[in-house]
Structure formats: structure tokens, C-alpha cells
Amino acid sequence: QKEVEQNSGPLSVPEGAIASLNCTYSDRVSQSFFWYRQYSGKSPELIMSIYSNGDKEDGRFTAQLNKASQYVSLLIRDSQPSDSATYLCAVNSAGNSGNTPLVFGKGTRLSVIA
């Protein structure tokens, strides 16, 4: 069974610091990797996607992928209290009809302290 593992946290960082969120996955043929942010009581919203090894930067967010280690991470620079949320890692693989549905981790709860 395909699994996506995340440390549930909470991860507490001071305002302005770098928050580092980690995720491992079990399916070696996984091809697409996503980070979603979910505020309490709200739906997940997509913040980053990454498909190839290396780093991908978008504003204060950087996604890092290492397929050999089956590891994906999200860095948030200059963390703000508004970044306080649960961050979900999601993975899918190639199937016979195209990409398979996303498998989500349990999420890491991030708390940015002002």
C-alpha cells in the first residue's frame, strides 16, 4: 500500500525564521509531488508542485525533491504568523489511465510565533 509519511508536529518556529517540513513516500514509481496548506476548518489549497529532482522556488516557498531517497521537503523562508497551518504532502504515480489519485500524508502542523 502506498504511504506518505509526515511528522505531525506541531513544529513551532519564531517569526522570520525558516520552517522546514519533511515528507517521505513509499512508492518508488511516484512521479508528482505536491504541498498543500490547510487552515483549520478550511479545505486544502495547493502551494507548490515539483516533478523532478532538485529545488523549485516560488516566492518564500522552496520545494526540494530527492527521488533516490524518496524524500520531499518544503522550506518556508521569513515565516509569518499567517503561515500557521497544517501542511499536507501529496504524491501520485503513473497508472494505466494516467496519473493515479493523490495519496496524502497526515500533515505537519506549523505554528509561527510572533
Partner 1 sequence: EADIYQTPRYLVIGTGKKITLECSQTMGHDKMYWYQQDPGMELHLIHYSYGVNSTEKGDLSSESTVSRIRTEHFPLTLESARPSHTSQYLCASSEGYGYTFGSGTRLTVV
CB 53 within 8 A of CB 65: yes
| Other CB atoms within 10 Å distance of the CB of residue 2 | 13
CB of 99 to partner 1, least distance (A): 7
Question: Which residue among 107, 108, 110, 112 contacts partner 1 (CB under 8 A)?
Answer: 107
**Contact yes or no for 85/74 (Cβ under 8 A):** no
If the CB atoms of residues 94 and 113 are measured against partner 1, the closer one turns out to be 94
Dihedral of alpha carbons 64, 101, 103, 38, sign: positive
20 binds partner 1 (CB under 8 A): no
**With binding defined as CB under 8 A, does residue 97 bind partner 1?**
yes
Residues at the contact surface with partner 1, assessed by CB under 8 A: 4, 8, 32, 34, 42-46, 49, 88, 92, 97-99, 101-107
